[in-house]
Structure 1
Amino acid sequence: MHFPLDEIRNRFPALSGPGEPPIYLDNPAGTLVPRSVIDAVATAMATASSNLGGYFAASQRAGDIWSKAHDAAADLVGAKSPREVIIGANMTTLTLHLSRSIGRLMKPGDEIIVTRMDHEGDVSPWLLMAEDLKLNVKWLNFNRETWRIEPEELRPLLSDRTKLLALNYASNLTGSINDVKALTALAKAAGALVYVDAVQLTPHRLPDVLDLGCDFLACSSYKFFGPHLGVVWGREELLASLTPYKVRCASDALPERFETGTPQVELLAGLAATVDYLASVGEMTGHSGTRRARLAGAYAASDAYETTLTQRLVAGLKALPGVTIHGITNPNRFAQRVPTVSFTHDRISTHVFAEKLAAQNIYIWSGHNYAYELARQLGLKESEGVVRIGMAHYNSLAEVERCLSAVAAIVTEKSPVLA
């Protein structure tokens, strides 16, 4: 199927303005925003900049935006009800907030499991909870051969005292996708809650919380072409049973009991518009039906297209002397990764690559990217980390080729800066 790249790029002002745009390959840190999302935010700021619950028109409009945002997020993750969707400042803040409520289910000596593959947003909140409540922390490694967390690594860590498994769906450094459904089943069989960080998966694959069987799933809309918001889905009966940390006069209904303060109405308008944008990609690629069905079509088409970019990037990097890719490089296993590719060089600092590419208007990241434990398990210097190149469905093969040419030029320079 033809992928409508030009039509998609025309939706993004950063890519469709006058002159040659920068090459945005920093997408794991945050994606560009389409015009429809920008317009939705601006319209809400102009017409609905009011608190909820009033009798006047602007407040009613704000309430409608709030409802539509939760409906859209519920469709995106496959929730049974928008009451299961909590929206807040960002994934890390929401996870820190919810960890206080989840911690009330635990007692000293209970065990939690965190992984060495996660972003710190799904590690530090649980370490802090464990410190406060005198819980025992177990660390789950990933397999260096498969680049994933394997069930045989998890099984020995589970016991009748395991109360929580926090794991990521896809790595923001290696790009590897974990078999979360299988890992969740093991943890649930041991009686543990499962909290899934799907921040890096959601820009590229459509989550299905009911199929996964987990208890919580978190993502960030600014990683999937929207405004700076975090979204956490939780099973309704579980959310209803948790003690919320809120002001006394705030609503005790779901999901309001976990959404502190005045909602960011303009960003909620942008979130709903983001999900509609993604659904429109489904329409562009020949899909119809419910919004969820159109989302599924969009993700399938985007994934197929992004895989062609990943194949070229990985092949090009592998051909360069001194380069080590940290992640899955076998094209037969690309279904088990997102298009985030990280590498190091045996003599050139990661920051030299980032700086020199930036000088050519090619945006990438260097460092550990908050995948702190992952970098440690790989034996990387904390000050260096990796060079991270992350693609999205609006990137082109020509952009990948330009990036590869620029990286190759740095590698072949006569006097590179040593790491």
Structure 2
Amino acid sequence: MAIDLTALRAHFPSLNTGLAFFDGPGGTQTPRPVAEAIAATLTGPLSNRGNVSPSELNAERAVADFRAAYADLLNMPAGGIVHGRSATQLTYDFSRHLAKSWQAGDEIVLSRLDHDSNVRPWIQAAERAGVSVRWIEIDAATMELDLDSYERALSPRTRLVAVTAASNVLGTKPPVRRIADRAHEFGALVYVDGVHYAAHHLVDVPALGADLFVCSPYKFLGPHCGVLAGTPELLETLDPDKLLPSPDNVPERFEFGTLPYEILAGATAAVDFLTAIDPGTGTTRRERLAHSLGALHEHEQALRTRLEDGLQALGNAVTLHSKAADRTPTLLMTLQGRDAREAQVHLASRNVVAPAGSFYAYEVFAALKLQDPALRVGLAPYNTADDVDRFLDGLADLNL
């Protein structure tokens, strides 16, 4: 498997600025076909959904195509694909939906490895319901989840386990299937934050063991929105508060107000763009996606190796906190004697975009006592070896 990087990069107008982007974990650059799909849908003709006029049918098609695309991307039924404004919004919504069945004395299990969007909504819902929160801790030596602490957190009272499929700052990929299987033995639901994971791997929600899985297309070349996947059978058991005239069928009962048809079209175009990068000879979109994303994974892993080798050459001046055995090409680092924000500004002066902060990973930074801000470097499909070398040269110029 191999990708034509020159051809790939030609689809991204923002790359013509000469900037080297390492901020993919916060949101990737947008290829022209995604923007064109959004513009074409907006200029339509376009109306609210219906089955009479061409403009109504265009809206219907945008919704159906979106559900079909994310069914293929996540290996889930189209009837279980829910649109949301963001992963945070979807998690807040579903924390309220699920908490309706919780009772005082119940427990939920959360992970210290997670972005706060998969922590705070559950804590706040638990507080309102009188439910206790238990924790899966991080092993500071490996930057992986401490599964012994997970075993101690589980009980017959556990109603939910919420865990990330990949840390947005450390890149750590926990053994989600193992975690899910144990949760299911106690009768608990498993909610998986796949926002960072989906940017680097072909997702198979059933294989992960997730009951509910959320991701964000803008992390993998699409527009700003969120997607939640669950089986229609599970979604049928959840009763959201909603307007009386609004649809009660699944998945639409969870989508409030008029859908943003242009955003749905852009999110669909992002899946199709990924599919076409290196599709192989697959006959289905899922097969072509598997081939393309496999090639992208190899490309990103090669760049990660180049990046890590270069950081190692800088010696003790750089402390790399991303060290789990299984992780994405996202690196969190602190710099000896330097504030990471200083490094961000210096790199920006060299047209290298590498952000500093804690990136909403509140529990990670608190549990590991990490210096805030830290520098995060994340690789995306359009990154090149030259980008990596420019980043490393920029760091070296700081006289670390």
1:36 and 2:33 matched: yes
The answer to whether 1:327 aligns with 2:322 is yes
- 1:411 match: secondary structure: coil
- 1:49 and 1:62 in contact (8 A); partners too: yes
Q: Distance in 2 between matches of 1:103 and 1:287?
A: 45
Measured after TM superposition, the shift of residue 322 of structure 1 is 2.0
In 2, the alpha carbon distance for the partners of 1:169 and 1:403 equals 27
Query: C-alpha distance in 2, partners of 1:260/1:53?
Result: 17
TM-score, length of structure 1 as denominator length:
0.93
How far did residue 380 of structure 1 move? 2.0
Deviation at residue 197 of structure 1 after TM alignment: 0.2
1:348 matched to 2:342:
no
Name 1:269's counterpart in structure 2.
265
Match for residue 57 of structure 2? 60
How far apart, in 1, do the equivalents of 2:399 and 2:186 lie? Answer: 49
Deviations 1:35-88 (A, max 9, x none): 111110000000043211262211111111111001101111000x21101011
1:167 is paired with a residue whose SS is strand
Mind listing any 5+ residue stretches in structure 1 that lack a counterpart?
A: 413-419
How far does residue 319 in structure 1 lie from its aligned partner after superposition? 2.1
- Partner residue, 1:188: 184
**3-state SS of the aligned residue for 1:410?**
coil
Residues 136 and 146 in structure 2, CA contact (< 8 A), matched pair in contact too = no
SS at match of 1:272: helix
Match for 1:292: what amino acid?
A: R
**2:68 corresponds to 1:78:** no
Specify the SS of the correspondent of 1:341.
Answer: strand
Aligned-partner Cα distance in 2 for 1:377–1:322: 23
In structure 1, how many angstroms separate the alpha carbons of the residues matched to 2:185 and 2:278? 37
Is contact 2:2–2:278 with CA below 8 Å preserved after alignment? no
The TM-score, its normalising length taken from structure 2, stands at 0.97
- 1:298 equivalent to 2:292? Answer yes
Q: Which residue of 2 aligns with 1:416?
A: none
Contact 1:282 1:296 in 2 (8 A): no
| Displaced runs of 4 or more, over 4 A | none
- Write the letter of the residue equivalent to 1:23: A
In the TM superposition, what whole-angstrom CA distance separates every residue of 1:309-358 from its partner, at most 9, and x where no partner exists? 101111211222321101127xxx4xx11111110012100111111111
Partner Cα separation in structure 1 for residue 139 and residue 292 of structure 2: 31
- CA–CA separation in structure 2 for the residues paired with 1:218 and 1:295: 19
State how far apart, in whole Å, the 2-side matches of 1:403 and 1:180 are.
32
> 2:22 and 2:232 mapped to 1: Cα distance?
37
Distance in 2 (alpha carbons) for counterparts of 1:150 and 1:70: 36
1:378 aligns with 2:368: yes
d(CA) in 2 for partners of 1:411, 1:378: 27
Distance 1:411 1:188 in 2: 52
1:108-187 to 2 correspondence within 5 Å? 108-187=104-183
SS of the aligned residue for 1:155 comes to helix
* Partner residue, 1:218: 214
State the shift of 1:214 in Å. Answer: 1.4
For residues 214 and 115 of structure 1, the distance between their equivalents in structure 2, rounded to whole angstroms, comes to 15
Paired residues of 2:79 and 2:232 also in contact (CA < 8 A): yes
Residue 415 of structure 1 corresponds to: none
In 2, the alpha carbon distance for the partners of 1:62 and 1:162 equals 41
Q: Name the count of aligned residue pairs.
A: 399
**Higher mean displacement: 150-159 or 246-255:** 150-159
C-alpha displacement at 1:288, in angstroms?
Answer: 2.2
Distance 1:245 1:115, change over 3 A: same
Whole-Å Cα distance in 2 between the matches of residues 411 and 186 of structure 1?
49
3-state DSSP of counterpart to 1:138: strand
Which shifted more, 35-44 or 358-367? 358-367
Q: 1:46 aligns with which of 43, 46, 66?
A: 43
Paired AA for residue 196 in structure 1: V
Distance 1:55 1:122, change over 3 A: same
Distance in 1 between the 2:147 and 2:289 partners?
30
Contact 1:166 1:196 in 2 (8 A): yes
2:282 is paired with a residue of what secondary structure?
coil
Aligned equivalents of 1:140, 1:249: Cα separation in 2: 42
Correspondence for 2:386? 398
Within 2, Cα distance between the matches of 1:296 and 1:188? Answer: 28
Q: Please state whether the residue corresponding to 1:244 is helix, strand or coil.
A: coil
Give the secondary structure class of the aligned counterpart of 2:278: helix
Percent identity, aligned pairs only, is: 37
